[in-house]
Amino acid sequence: MNNKPSITYLILIIALFLFGCRGPVKEENKNNASASSLSLYARNEKYVIDTKKSVVTWKGSNLLGSNRHIGYVYISKGELIIENGELIGGTAEIDMNTIEDENHGRDNGLVNHLKEPDFFDVKKFQFSRILLNKSGSINSENKKFGGNLTIKGITQPVTFPAKMEIKNGIVKLNGRLVIDRTKWNVRYKSGKFYDLLADQTISDSIEFHIKITAKKSEY
């Protein structure tokens, strides 16, 4: 009879010990989950666009293709987000005041007209932007990127093919984006909105060759 209280106390002590051990285990699991989340975030690498080594080449023409114009415009800032060697996001801001012709001229009839409301209305909309939010593979060498392009305050979805290389902390991206300018309210001499233009009709397609160099950021 005297042994019964001892057995009861022993059971209580074991129970308290077992329940007491569960708390730290849960806390350890919580800490492991947090560490896992931080590790996942750490795999995202930011690459800052080198604006001196990056350029967008633009091409436009009349509808017949007999009168072509080529020029350049420059990125003012931007970044690319890479995870496991794949682009998962990014932004690039283009300063429309940097529009140039093929000879890098910035003050002539062609360039000044492109800056007017007929085209890009640069005084009102100084910056155009592209936000990249997805990518996929076309083949072993070519990728397909998607995102949103903003021109003249209007945002439209876009996709374009590109080649991307990551080496020694440098990302190099070369892509070709063709847009229908009228979707961004650039309607000057468009056959969709003006009649009887004949050979003065300007093609609605504008072609952009995008060349980006970005350096890995330590953050």
Residue with tokens 């114009």: 69
Residues 30 and 55 in one domain: no
59 shares a domain with 33 = no
Q: Is the dihedral of CA 182, 79, 208, 146 positive or negative?
A: negative
Per-residue pLDDT tens digits for 170-183:
999 999 999 999 99
pLDDT band at 140 (very low <50, low <70, confident <90, very high): confident
Shared domain for 86 and 170, answered yes or no, is yes
CA distance 77 to 165: 20
Claim to verify: residue 100 and residue 153 sit in the same structural domain: yes
Residues 9 and 97 reside in one and the same domain: no
Rg (CA), the chain: 29
Q: Beta-strand (E) ranges in 40-85?
A: 44-49, 55-61, 68-83
Do 26 and 9 reside in the same domain of the chain?
Answer: yes
* Average pLDDT over every residue of 142-146: 93
Q: Could you tell me the residue range of the domain that residue 24 belongs to?
A: 1-42
Structure tokens that stand for 195 in this block? 């009649």
Residues 17 and 93 in one domain: no
Write the CATH number for 83. Answer: 2.40.128.110
Give the phi and the psi of residue 123 in degrees, each rounded to 5.
-60, -35
Number of domains in the chain: 2
**What's the pLDDT tens digit per position in 83-139?**
998 999 999 999 999 999 999 999 999 999 999 999 999 999 999 999 999 888 888
Give the mean pLDDT of 15-38.
46
Whether residues 207 and 160 fall in one domain: yes
First to last CA, the chain: 70
36/54 same-domain check: no
95 and 119 within one domain: yes
Q: Mean per-residue pLDDT for 198-206? A: 87
Question: What percent of the chain lies above the pLDDT cut of 70?
Answer: 79
Same domain, 57 and 159: yes
83 shares its domain with 150:
yes
CA distance 170 to 172: 7
**DSSP structure string for 133-148:** EEEEESSSS-EEEEEE
Decide if pLDDT at 184 tops 90.
yes
CB distance 151 to 120 below 8 Å: yes
pTM as predicted? 0.78
